[in-house]
């Protein structure tokens, strides 16, 4: 998919990855970019700076996601690309992560993607096709030790993206899932399982990878290419991978 003359919606769009993608899409000639964010002041400021549209939206409220899609269709016509990007971190595993944290992570990292797909896919199919880009995390493919709600819900986000690609691929709906490690944003993780990442990258570098992946219509978008190797090792020998992750967890507890 080429972004020239495209209409794109980006949730979690006022800062970090979302804003960087908006800048990249506009640089590629997107006709309209609509930023959506929970913080109305932040999204209004970012939209004004970029010269695009900004809307307040709580992506965990399905009615607000529907309103976002419908208002974009009215103002700009068919949506070519919907980036379901909003997310947040959460620490804890079992007793130290209360139900409210698990539920909030589920609503933000899984149901929000589902609400977006429900709202936008019918109009995309009617228009002959469209593109969904769901932001997950390398933690959803691997694991982030010490962050159970985040890891589990990001894994569910990957599975939902797979399901959407299987279910609607033959109807012209292309799907990508973005799975970075550390990115220099407000929630930048300085650790991923073993206390290290493969480098903290800048949001604009990530956005360049996203543009290339959308052009090539790749399902996995891996700004840290090492993740593909780790995923292959996990697939080749899951038991060995689990033993290795337990060793990493033990080291992190000592550190």
Question: And the tokens for 26?
Answer: 């506009």
Distance CA 59, CA 235 (A): 33
Catalytic pick among 115, 131, 150, 230: 150
Distance CA 81, CA 155 (A): 22
Distance CA 118, CA 102 (A): 23
* Active site annotation includes 230: no
CA distances for 15 relative to 12, 40, 111, 143, 166, angstroms? 7, 12, 22, 25, 31
Q: Which residue, among 138, 25, 6, 23, has the nearest Cα to 72 in the 3D structure? A: 6
Q: Which residue, among 108, 109, 146, has the nearest Cα to 255 in the 3D structure? A: 146
| Residues designated catalytic | 150
């Amino acid at each position: 998919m080429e972004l020239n003359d495209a209409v794109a919606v980006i949730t979690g769009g006022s800062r970090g990855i979302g804003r960087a993608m908006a800048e990249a899409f506009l640089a590629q000639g997107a006709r309209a970019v609509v930023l959506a964010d929970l913080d109305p002041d932040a999204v209004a400021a970012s939209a004004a700076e970029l010269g695009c549209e900004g809307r307040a939206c709580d992506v965990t409220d399905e009615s607000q996601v529907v309103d976002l899609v419908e208002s974009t269709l009215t103002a700009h016509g068919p949506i070519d690309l919907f980036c379901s990007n909003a997310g947040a971190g959460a620490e804890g595993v079992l007793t130290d992560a209360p139900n409210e944290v698990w539920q909030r992570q589920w609503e933000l990292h899984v149901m929000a993607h589902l609400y977006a797909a429900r709202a936008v896919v019918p109009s995309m199919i009617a228009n002959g096709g469209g593109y969904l880009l769901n932001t997950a995390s390398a933690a959803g493919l691997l694991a982030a030790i010490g962050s159970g709600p985040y890891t589990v819900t990001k894994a569910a986000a990957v599975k939902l993206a797979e399901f959407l690609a299987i279910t609607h691929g033959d109807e012209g709906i292309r799907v990508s899932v973005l799975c970075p490690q550390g990115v220099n944003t407000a929630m930048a993780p300085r650790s991923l399982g073993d206390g290290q990442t493969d480098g903290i990258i800048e949001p604009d570098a990530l956005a360049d990878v996203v543009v290339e992946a959308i052009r090539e219509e790749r399902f996995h978008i891996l700004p840290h290419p090492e993740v593909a190797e780790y995923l292959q090792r996990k697939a080749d020998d899951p038991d060995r991978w689990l033993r290795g992750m337990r060793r990493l967890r033990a080291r992190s507890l000592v550190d």
